[in-house]
Amino acid sequence: MSEASHRAQPPRRDFFEKVTGSAEFISDVVVPGMLQGRILRSTIPHGRIRNVDVSAALALPGVEAVLTGEDIAGLNNHWGLFLNDRPVIAIDRVRYVGEPVAVVVAVDERTAEDALDLIDVDYETLPFVTDAVEAMAEDAPVLHEKSETLKDFYFKGEAKPVPGTNIFQKYEYAHGDVERAFADAGRVFEDTFSFPMIFHYAMEPHCVVASFADGGLTLWSCGQAPTAIQKVLSRVFDLPLAKIRIITPYVGGGFGGKASVKIDPLVAAAAWKVGRPVRICLSISESMLTCRRLSASITVRTGVRADGTILGKAVRVVMNGGAYADTGPAVAIKAANRAIGPYHVPNLKLEAYAVYTNTVPGAAFRSIGGPQAVWASESQMDIIAGALGIDPVELRYRNMLKPGETVRPDLRPIDVDMAEALGQASQAMSRLDAAGPDAGLMKGVAVGASDPGIMAVAAVLVRLKIDGSVLVISNSVEIGQGIREVLRTFAAELLNQPAEAVYVMTPDTALAPFDWGTGASRSSVMMGMAIEDAAIDIRRQLADMAAAAFGVAAETVSLCPGGIVAGDRQWPFAELLHAHYGIDSGEVIGIGRISPHSRDGRLMQAPLFWETAAGMCGVELDEETGEVRVRRYVSVADVGRVLNRASAEGQDEGAAIQGLGHALSEELVYEDGQPVNASMIDYHVPTIDEVPEDFLTVLIESGTGPGPGGARGMGEGAILPVAPAIANALASRHGIRIRDLPLTPERVWRALQEKKAKP
Amino acid sequence: MDATERMMLSFTLNGRPVEVDVEPSDLLLDVLRNRLGLKGTKRSCDVEVCGACTVLMNGLPVSSCTTLAADADGQTVLTIEGVAQGGELDRVQRAFVEHAGMQCGFCTPGMVLATTALLNVNPKPDNAEIRHFLRGNICRCTGYIKILEAVKSLV
């Protein structure tokens, strides 16, 4: 627990720009000479494209070009992160409603939009499948006849598709002997749960501006992983990485929906075709047709002794990955891992599939696979508790891992005290109950443990200027989480300079070193460690300069605000750099590089840290309507170290309320191959009046994370327990066990009626 | 488009008179952002659900994504750019900054203006009134807890 974290902190610097409307977001970017693109999308779930007639669109005044699949024959026209399965634009086939078929580039958005109506697409429809379990059936239409895996392309390892089927990822893991454990167990519980497709709804839709010039390509992108975009574009357009530049201004939310690569190749292809800069800013309805959380069907079999001790657990996950794999192979693995829970499971079997269907491509979403998995496993914990007559909290304590024990022997031992987190949740709920007694509330609990998939590859440049100002240059994307302020805090702390002197640059791959990307709760920790190394680099250079210029022993030199100190002597940076360079100008550049070999190889074992949460809710149910209201909620997470209290709490609160949406209302619905609620009129996310009146965030600062001062990643854990905690609350009072999300009034009401019919 | 179809609007924008010629079908959001260069007003849902494009017309919140620019003729419009005076944040902005009532910041201009309107019509709203008034402004990042704290601090 660091003292610095308890000092009153000045507000984040980006807040001043954001609150005045002066912050430039990606959708605000204007590039001189840029044209606007609009996308014609497939209206059918699966079919061959016989012909695309763009002549009438091209004849419309103001239309400069129309890009179709024919145009990209000369490019490396498929891309992907795990599987090279996705065309830059539909070539001769469409695989989901919403797939881009043509891009109109025009002088303005309205002209481009008008021209879309003038394009005539002739389709030959093919049989389609939108359900993952159906897509695994032998007679299901196959979406991709061949699969080309990309090993270690951006993620470590490779997907394991099953040739000739829609399965693009099959993952298996086992330790112990689960069947024998089930034979030994007094009881074996088997339950299947479903989790729907969920839209990210980052409030700023996907937006990219692309410009080819000087033999290279510059993109202003909303992407969370600029270097992944750079790599994919390099392949598609056969350009050297050094000639591809990705600039990432403020991004209006992502939650994974802008992770890896999304519309960047398409926008770049439009700019390539027309030979001028092109901007494409989707509508939110189009973003809904761009990516979504993978829906899942999860079967959990758990064998327990009569006292509730878990002897074995078998998890089977089937995930609906949509028309293209994207990062689905990683999501499936994580869903399997995250279904284990922070429990001692001596015999374990995991099996996970991700499956192609004729739906919007699945993608990363805050704690990939986590909410799906925890919905299943934590709902089942309460089923077990109920059947054995054990208090649900007590059942969790009985099986809880202690710090240092392993979830899986091949993974890093759990590095948080989950029992403490659960205890703190109970205490916090007691405090809320004491402050406002309400006997009518049903209580529910759940915990989650996730293994962030962090690649230990990051680097930063820290430039200390002669006037003492500091510029931090990295590819960490500011997407709302406050990474720029975190980097500023770290640089100030590690260089012993005032925070006011530190500035953090907009990510630009032409200037910032390679970083794996912003996601998986990694940036504070990874870039924090890189800044640690950059600060050491800067101190060493300054010390060498001081030794030469002032004759002091290099090892006695340290930094002080505005300069250096050695023994009882002190020099401003200006005096030192002036003496070194001979002119009153210059800077010192520190480089921090993190790789799996850094920190004596300690970063090599996965996960880099565990991200966990405990949640407890107080719920009210209107039995007449089935409407569920969460009145009280307690969210507890061990974050290692709080870097910025308001922002850290805000990350946790935001995750929990997203979890509330997952629990109560959010679901992208398909009927007859069509997404029927892909607009914000029909898709409901939580509004301010749905927030629990009493909400407590408890952040545990164990100081056990790998980042500076014991920091660990955060912001993804709190989404995990919400849905099962609410369902568990409903079960505890009304005996209804709902296994499908969301817990809509209709679904809850029907469950109540069924219960009344056959109690 | 036929030049005769264009129309000239005069209205008060952030305390100053403006004149702009528009097409009758132009949306206020597009005119503010693309013609008048005021990009603080954000486009998100397009369907008057999320509140990111909120501006105040005669002191009351409207969704500029579904308001015709023509309807601003002769009216008084306040966008986020007109809230801070002389480089000084106003009290609503200060509250959002001090309470960390934002993360990505995309909903923030609309949220600040909706709060401003709330306090104009009801200087002392209770919790239920705050939650009711602001339900037309979606924030996907914060979970609203810090936004509620910011607004309550102004009451």
Percentage of residues of chain A with pLDDT beyond 70: 99
Q: Residue A437, Cβ neighbours under 10 Å: how many?
A: 9
What are phi and psi for residue A578, nearest 5 degrees?
A: -60, -45
Domain that holds residue B44: 3-82
Across the A:B interface, residue pairs with CB atoms under 8 Å apart total 175
Q: What is the pLDDT of residues B108-142, one digit of tens each?
A: 999 999 999 999 999 999 999 999 999 999 999 99
Alpha-carbon distance of B52 to B132, in angstroms, equals 17
Which residues contact residue A183 at a Cβ distance below 8 angstroms, ignoring those fewer than 6 apart?
none
Which of A405, A427, A423, A424 has its CA nearest to residue A414?
A: A405
Give the per-residue pLDDT at A4: 40
> Same domain, yes or no, for B75 and B108?
no
- Which residues does chain A have within 8 Å of residue B137's beta carbon, measured at their own beta carbons? 688
Give the per-residue pLDDT at A2: 35
Among B82, B105, B132, give the residue marking a domain's end: B82
| Between A28 and A9, the higher pLDDT residue | A28
Q: What is the mean pLDDT of residues B80-101?
A: 96
Which domain CATH number covers B107? 1.10.150.120
Q: What is the pLDDT of residues A484-510, one digit of tens each?
A: 999 999 999 999 999 999 999 999 999
Which of B91, B105, B82, B79 has its CA nearest to residue A14?
A: B105
Q: Residue A261: left if φ>0, alpha if ψ -120 to 50, beta else—which one?
A: beta
* Residue B138, CA atoms < 13 Å, CB-side half-sphere: 27
A52-66, A87-101, A571-585, B3-17: least confident range:
B3-17
- Flag whether pLDDT at A758 surpasses 90: no
How far the first Cα of chain A sits from its last, in Å, is 52
Q: Domain spanning A455-601 has what CATH number?
A: 3.30.365.10
Q: What is the mean pLDDT of residues A423-435?
A: 95
Which of A322, A286, A360, A311 has its CA nearest to residue A37?
A: A286
Domain boundaries, chain A: 26-126+201-288, 370-449+608-757, 455-601
Q: What is the pLDDT of residues A692-701, one digit of tens each?
A: 999 999 999 9
Q: Which two tokens stand for residue A170?
A: 């099959």
Alpha-carbon distance of A153 to A85, in angstroms, equals 14
Q: What is the pLDDT of residues A702-756, one digit of tens each?
A: 999 999 999 999 999 999 999 999 999 999 999 999 999 999 999 999 999 999 9
What size, in residues, is chain B?
A: 155
According to CATH, the topology of domain A370-449+608-757 is Aldehyde Oxidoreductase; domain 4 (3.30.365)
> Same domain, yes or no, for B66 and B108?
no
Contact criterion met (CB below 8 Å) for A407 and A449: yes
Give the per-residue pLDDT at B4: 57
Q: What is the pLDDT of residues A457-482, one digit of tens each?
A: 999 999 999 999 999 999 999 999 99
Q: Do A25 and B106 touch (CB under 8 A)?
A: yes
Alpha-carbon distance of A698 to A258, in angstroms, equals 29
B89 vs chain A: nearest CA distance in angstroms?
8
Give the per-residue pLDDT at A267: 98
Best mutation target among B29, B43, B104 (most A Cβ atoms within 10 Å) is B104
Among B55, B82, B109, give the residue marking a domain's end: B82
Quickly list H helices, A254-325. 264-274, 284-288
Q: Do A16 and B135 touch (CB under 8 A)?
A: no
What are phi and psi for residue A106, nearest 5 degrees?
A: -145, 175
Among B51, B82, B113, give the residue marking a domain's end: B82
Q: Do B146 and A653 touch (CB under 8 A)?
A: yes
Give the per-residue pLDDT at A438: 78
What's at A541, amino acid-wise?
Q
Q: Do B137 and A680 touch (CB under 8 A)?
A: no
- Flag whether pLDDT at A618 surpasses 90: yes
- Flag whether pLDDT at A235 surpasses 70: yes
The total domain count for chain B is: 2
Q: What is the mean pLDDT of residues A321-345?
A: 98
The answer to whether A26-126+201-288 and A455-601 have equal CATH topology is no
- Flag whether pLDDT at A7 surpasses 80: no
What's at A180, amino acid-wise?
R
- Range A26-126+201-288 has CATH code 3.60.20.10: no
Mean pLDDT of chain A: 96
- Flag whether pLDDT at A5 surpasses 50: no
Contact criterion met (CB below 8 Å) for B89 and A17: no
Which of B80, B31, B55, B52 has its CA nearest to residue B137?
A: B52
Beta pairing class for A557-560 and A563-566: antiparallel
> Same domain, yes or no, for B74 and B105?
no
- Flag whether pLDDT at A211 surpasses 60: yes
Alpha-carbon distance of A550 to A566, in angstroms, equals 10
Q: What is the pLDDT of residues A699-713, one digit of tens each?
A: 999 999 999 999 999
